[in-house]
């Protein structure tokens, strides 16, 4: 039998269940009844549509499927079921990380929360905006066509943000450091001013993220307080697999202070920038895995992960074309949302 390969698992964030992903659960996970029923039973108790029903709808409805209270639960269900499909005779999972909402999924995957507490956390945080979204998010690239980060672009975009914030009514923050992209969170006035001040690139950026709130910014202070009043610290346990958070810290199975993990989850990462790039860097440099496995649904995180590999010249990848040829020859990144790569994982 061939030797196991080491892998770091990456959990997806909010923007990963799109029109193309409709039916993902039923396509790949009709056998995962236990995982899905825990989620659906909780949703039923909250009088919310079941994820099996949302996933099984005949057509994708933007408002319905991207609403926080629905998107977060369905993405979690798909990702957790994907995690339980990984061939553990082939891969030794050495660490888990995630992007933004993917942090909550990472907690579930690493067993820092049991299945019932995981869906409670994810559903509670996802439903916080059901009475109206606080602020918004906007995404903007800082890479060139070779996926190399342009430091001048980065500096000039950050200077524009500082300029926008000089006006009293504007409030904009860096929300997620996402490889070759920066995600900003802020109030409507601030985001509008930032959007108007940034040059249009690729005919699509700056792009407002539909139905997204100003996550990972101080605008979420009240949400953080509310979450802490609704969810207790005793639900958290030490992870069974090392967890890499959005500051690049590693939470180890035998040394995790669960109260600090609770505070990080419901305070720090809710109100402060999520540095996904740092999390990927730590995954690479501290664990040097043979593979990075990105859980589905969707595969939108692949680009951001690739841009981080290029940034650190990992496996001698210096440009987008280096990454593409590496992926053709011996893929380092395995996105379970892509059929070809999925086959290598399950």
pLDDT above 70 (res 87): yes
Query: Tell me, what's the pLDDT at 200?
Result: 97
Where would I find the H helices in the chain? 24-28, 33-45, 51-55, 62-66, 68-83, 102-109, 115-126, 151-164, 188-197, 221-230, 258-263, 269-271, 276-287, 301-311, 320-329, 339-342
pLDDT digits (tens, 9 = 90+) for 11-57: 999 888 999 999 999 999 999 999 999 999 999 999 999 999 999 99
Please state, in angstroms and as integers, the Cα–Cα distance from residue 310 to each residue in 228, 317, 324, following that order.
Answer: 38, 5, 11
Q: What is the mean pLDDT of residues 213-231?
A: 96
Mean pLDDT of the chain: 96
pLDDT at 133: 87
pLDDT above 90 (res 289): yes
Q: Give the tokens for residue 324.
A: 């593409």
Is pLDDT of 143 > 70? yes
Q: 302-339, pLDDT tens digit by residue? A: 999 999 999 999 999 999 999 999 999 999 999 999 99
* Domains 5-131+221-342 and 136-216 equal at CATH topology level: no
Topology (CATH level 3) of domain 136-216: Alpha-Beta Plaits (3.30.70)
Contacts of 164 (CB under 8 A, 6+ apart): 170, 172, 190, 193, 194, 197
pLDDT of residue 1: 54
Write the pLDDT tens digit of every residue in 152-198.
999 999 999 999 999 999 999 999 999 999 999 999 999 999 999 99
pLDDT at 174: 98
Global pTM exceeds 0.85:
yes
CATH H-level, domain 5-131+221-342: superfamily: Malonyl-Coenzyme A Acyl Carrier Protein, domain 2 (3.40.366.10)
Domain coordinates in residue numbering, the chain = 5-131+221-342, 136-216
Task: Look at residue 12 in the predicted model and tell me its pLDDT.
Answer: 96
Could you tell me the CA-to-CA distances from 222 to 215, 247, 261, 270, 318 in Å, in that order? 12, 21, 19, 10, 42
In this structure, of 60-69, 87-96, 239-248, the range with the lowest mean pLDDT score is: 60-69
Q: What share of the chain is helix, strand, coil (3-state, %, to 5)?
A: 45, 15, 35
């Amino acid at each position: 039998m061939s030797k196991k390969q080491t892998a770091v698992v990456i959990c997806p964030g909010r923007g990963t269940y799109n029109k193309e992903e409709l039916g993902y659960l039923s396509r790949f996970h009709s056998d995962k009844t236990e995982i899905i029923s825990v989620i659906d039973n909780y949703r039923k108790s909250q009088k919310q549509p079941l994820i099996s029903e949302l996933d099984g709808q005949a057509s994708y409805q933007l408002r319905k499927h991207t609403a926080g209270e629905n998107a977060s639960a369905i993405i979690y269900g798909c990702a957790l079921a994907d995690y339980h499909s990984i061939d553990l005779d082939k891969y030794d999972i050495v660490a888990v990380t995630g992007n933004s909402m993917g942090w909550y999924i990472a907690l579930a995957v690493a067993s820092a929360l049991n299945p019932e507490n995981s869906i409670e956390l994810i559903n509670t945080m996802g439903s916080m905006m059901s009475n109206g979204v606080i602020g918004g998010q906007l995404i903007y690239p800082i890479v060139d066509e070779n996926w190399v980060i342009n430091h001048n672009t980065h500096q000039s975009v950050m200077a524009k943000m500082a300029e926008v914030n000089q006006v009293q009514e504007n409030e904009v923050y860096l929300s997620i450091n996402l490889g070759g992209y920066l995600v900003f969170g802020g109030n409507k006035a601030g985001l509008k001013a930032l959007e108007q001040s940034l040059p249009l690139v690729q005919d699509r950026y700056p792009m407002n993220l539909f139905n997204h709130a100003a996550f990972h910014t101080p605008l979420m202070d009240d949400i953080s307080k509310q979450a802490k009043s609704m969810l207790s610290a005793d639900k958290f346990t030490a992870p069974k697999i090392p967890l890499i958070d959005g500051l690049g810290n590693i939470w180890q199975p035998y040394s995790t202070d669960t109260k600090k993990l609770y505070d990080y989850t419901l305070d720090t990462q809710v109100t402060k920038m999520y540095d996904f790039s740092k999390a990927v860097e730590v995954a690479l440099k501290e664990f040097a895995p043979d593979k990075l496995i990105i859980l589905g649904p969707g595969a939108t995180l692949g680009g951001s992960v690739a841009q981080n590999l290029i940034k650190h010249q990992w496996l001698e990848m210096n440009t987008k074309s280096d990454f593409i040829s590496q992926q053709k020859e011996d893929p380092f990144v395995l996105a379970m949302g892509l059929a070809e790569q999925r086959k290598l994982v399950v």
